[in-house]
A and B are shown apart, each in its own frame.
Chain A
Amino acid sequence: MTTLVYLIPVALFLGALGLSGFLWALRSGQYEDLDGAAERILIDSDEGAENATRSK
């Protein structure tokens, strides 16, 4: 019984951590272009950084 007192909160906390991680990813637009994200990894990183934004 005493172990449950801290095990249940720990389990819930870890679950809640995963849930909030998912909600954060959703809010920050990471699910908006799933196909694009899969392809962008193939673009060379230094070139990719130059393309992403070009400020003047």
Chain B
Amino acid sequence: MSCCAPGAEMALDLVGPASILPSSQEVRLASRSLGDDLHQTDLSVPMVHCGACIQTIETALGKLDRVEAARVNLSTKRVSVQWRGGEVPPLVAVLGRLGYQAHLFEADTDAKDKTLSELIRAVAVAGFAAGNIMLLSVSVWSGADGATRDLFHWVSALIAIPALAFAGGIFFRSAWNALRHGRMNMDVPIAVGVSLAYAMSLYETITHGDHAYFDASVSLLFFLLIGRTLDHVMRERARTAVKSLSQLAARGAMVLRGDGARDYLPVGEIEPEMQLLIAAGERIPVDGKIARGTSDVDCSLVSGESTPRSVAPEDTVQAGVLNLTGSLTIEATAAAKDSFLAEMVRLMEAAEGGRAHYRRIADRVSALYAPVVHLTAFVTFLGWMVATGDWHRAMTIAIAVLIITCPCALGLAVPIVQVVAARRLFEHGIMVKDGSAMERLAAVDMAVFDKTGTLTLGQPRLVNASSIDAAMLAIAADLAAHSRHPYSKAISGFAVSSSQHKFDAVTEHPGFGIEATAAGSIWRLGRRGWAGWKARTGREGKHGYGGTVLTKNGMIVASFVFEDALRVDTKVAIDQLHNAGMRVEMLSGDTAKACAEVADVLSVDDFVPCLLPSGKVERIESLSRDGHKVLMVGDGLNDTPALSAAHVSIAPATAADIGRNAADFVFLRESLLAVPLAMNVSRNAGNLIRQNIAIAIVYNAVAVPIAILGQVTPLIAAIAMSASSLLVIGNAMRLRSSMPGSLAKEVRPSKRSEINELAQSS
């Protein structure tokens, strides 16, 4: 990192995702052509966070050959580079040298967010109209009459037309959509109220009447649009942040043709029986059978198995498996659309659980609210008709009822609470897909966790380092630095590599281990059966045939014990969930023994080992049939169907892309405390939403009788509406200042770092 130096973690701090650099062919595949031999590549660089970063990156990339322009967007943490020519400039490598990790992401076809700019334009137009009409209305209320009042009314009517047509269009379209499908949403009473108010005011203006509601109808639109825009911004920010994470699926593969030619093809064009070349460190793109080569593969994302598996010719491998040590030639046995990944997508679609039927609180309330309001207005009209026989007066009063009950507070109350809650979660590195996810999370009573990659990091940790001779550990670390096998990484990460041992000819034997010669003796680090060939006939050792050892000339000098490292704060997080009255269960594809150890340490209530992806879904479905609302937390490809079967789901940032897309929440930091925190914030938000709805109902209980009695003038309507909106906004803001509940204490210590983060990111 070139600037702002150590510990400069921002809100978007990533938990070290698999650090595989995208190859230049992948970059080429992800770039889009701007015509005239010009290409644009968008890279996500989550570590950018200050002016110096911008300058370093733009200067370094700008100096590269064939690069036309490089521009950093600090808000989205992206760099877009325009380059010419056939070959891709070494963008990712240059960024890596500067200390910035860069990821490719799905290139957007329509780069700009059309909905957001439409909403902001609508807010601007409605704000302009509301301001000016309010100004004219104030003069009318202060006593303008006769020709002046008529003039003001006419001017207001003219200003309101573009506002209704442009800003109101959003509500009219949505209301029409809902009605056409026989549903009722918040936009129906809004559309009806606003358009009737305008029509009635226009009639008043033409007949020189003294009450016009232009100000009410336009400022109503303005307030509601603010709520709508905030809601959209929240969802959009979470979506971009999740999209910017590194892509874990392979984008393409090197295909070996019969005549020896090599082509880099996108995954979609790979067909069965093609020969694919998979280098060490690459992910396998489609299901296949190994033709040549041996290696170790990491299946944790696919099956949940935490120990790497060694593979040899004739073994089958599934799409999504990571090739660790040796290069492999595989023969594809299925096209991408028939591969394991696609199978997961099908299961996922079949498993659409409670969320498909879930209706948001606001929609449920408005389904009751709208008919009641419209009925009240209609009865008022009939009542005044019968009482006075004056249809004009009856109509005016009925419309005043509609205006006063327009769900301004409701339309603003729910999104504001959710935006404030989402902001809180965002500061703690948790992304929320949408508001309904928070409402669903507040209702869960049972949490189900995946093991590998979720409760544990899926990365082995050396546990017996203290009992190993330090000199031997150093030798092992030097050897291990030559390999990318997870065990090697664990060893080299544990011991400080001294680099004082001069090894000649270090070779890696995929599936077995590393061999090196130094000063006439042969050192081997790897499987017991291979490295300790002299000891093989003797005992198998306490850790069995498969344990990892360091040998000198065939004699075992040190043996290593690994354990899957637990995610940070896992125990605390599970205790907090227990305290919150939740049952915690663990579902895993790993062996019963591995599961039992973890379950024991974490005091998980129950666990089910050796599950297939469909088994996880069945388990969740049977729990939901028993009346539980299940929260699923998982990261692997094999968890994806379960993530979408659950009532609500959370995934870590290290999850497979498809899992991240299926989950409602994504947390970016390593700590599992994100889960109870998200729960707590969601529950608080749920309480505030219910309070706000109660406030809105009380307001109506007071205002509606006044309106029915015909006492509401445009002035009273304007005051009542603004007051109720301010009240619910103020109530929503309480979520920011105070966090009632047990978690407040745990959150406080991080306050300082949170402030630093804010200072850095703004």
Q: Footprint of B on A, CB under 8 Å?
A: 1, 4, 8, 11-12, 15-16, 18-19, 22-23, 26, 31-36, 38-43, 47-48, 50-55
Name the B residues within 8 Å of A1 (CB-CB).
Answer: 147-148
B75 touches A33 (CB 8 A): yes
9 A-B residue pairings within 8 Å (CB atoms): A12-B159, A18-B128, A19-B124, A34-B75, A35-B74, A35-B75, A36-B74, A36-B75, A43-B51
Q: A35-B762, A40-B54 are in contact. Are A54 and B148 (CB under 8 A)?
A: no
Ordered nearest first, which 10 A-B pairs have the shortest CB separation? Answer: A36-B74, A39-B51, A35-B74, A42-B51, A51-B58, A54-B62, A33-B73, A19-B128, A35-B75, A33-B75
Once bound together, how far apart are the Cα atoms of A47 and B761, in whole Å? Answer: 23
Once bound together, how far apart are the Cα atoms of A48 and B473, in whole Å? Answer: 50
B69 touches A52 (CB 8 A): yes
Known: A15-B128, A55-B68. 9 other contacts (CB 8 A): A1-B148, A11-B132, A12-B159, A26-B121, A36-B54, A39-B74, A47-B59, A52-B69, A54-B62
Q: How many residues of B contact A (CB 8 A)?
A: 33
Q: Footprint of A on B, CB under 8 Å?
A: 50-51, 54-55, 58-59, 62-63, 67-69, 71-76, 117, 120-121, 124-125, 128, 131-132, 135, 147-148, 151, 155, 159, 761-762
Name the A residues within 8 Å of B63 (CB-CB).
Answer: 54
B75 touches A16 (CB 8 A): no
**Chain B interface helix/strand/loop/mixed:** helix
Q: A-B pairs with CB below 8 Å: how many? A: 75
B75 touches A32 (CB 8 A): yes
Most buried by A among B54, B117, B121: B54
Q: Which residue of B lies closest to A9 (CB)?
A: B155
Indicate which residue in B51, B71, B132 contacts A12 across the interface (CB closer than 8 Å). Answer: B132
Q: Which residue of B lies closest to A44 (CB)?
A: B55
Once bound together, how far apart are the Cα atoms of A35 and B73, in whole Å? Answer: 8
Indicate which residue in B73, B147, B159 contacts A36 across the interface (CB closer than 8 Å). Answer: B73
Indicate which residue in B55, B125, B128, B147 contacts A48 across the interface (CB closer than 8 Å). Answer: B55
Once bound together, how far apart are the Cα atoms of A26 and B229, in whole Å? Answer: 15
Name the A residues within 8 Å of B67 (CB-CB).
Answer: 54
Most buried by B among A12, A18, A26, A54: A54
Once bound together, how far apart are the Cα atoms of A2 and B276, in whole Å? Answer: 84
Q: Which residue of A lies closest to B158 (CB)?
A: A12
Once bound together, how far apart are the Cα atoms of A18 and B128, in whole Å? Answer: 9
Once bound together, how far apart are the Cα atoms of A36 and B55, in whole Å? Answer: 11
A4 touches B54 (CB 8 A): no
Q: Which residue of A lies closest to B128 (CB)?
A: A19
B54 touches A26 (CB 8 A): no
Q: How close is A19's CB to chain B, nearest CB, in angstroms?
A: 5
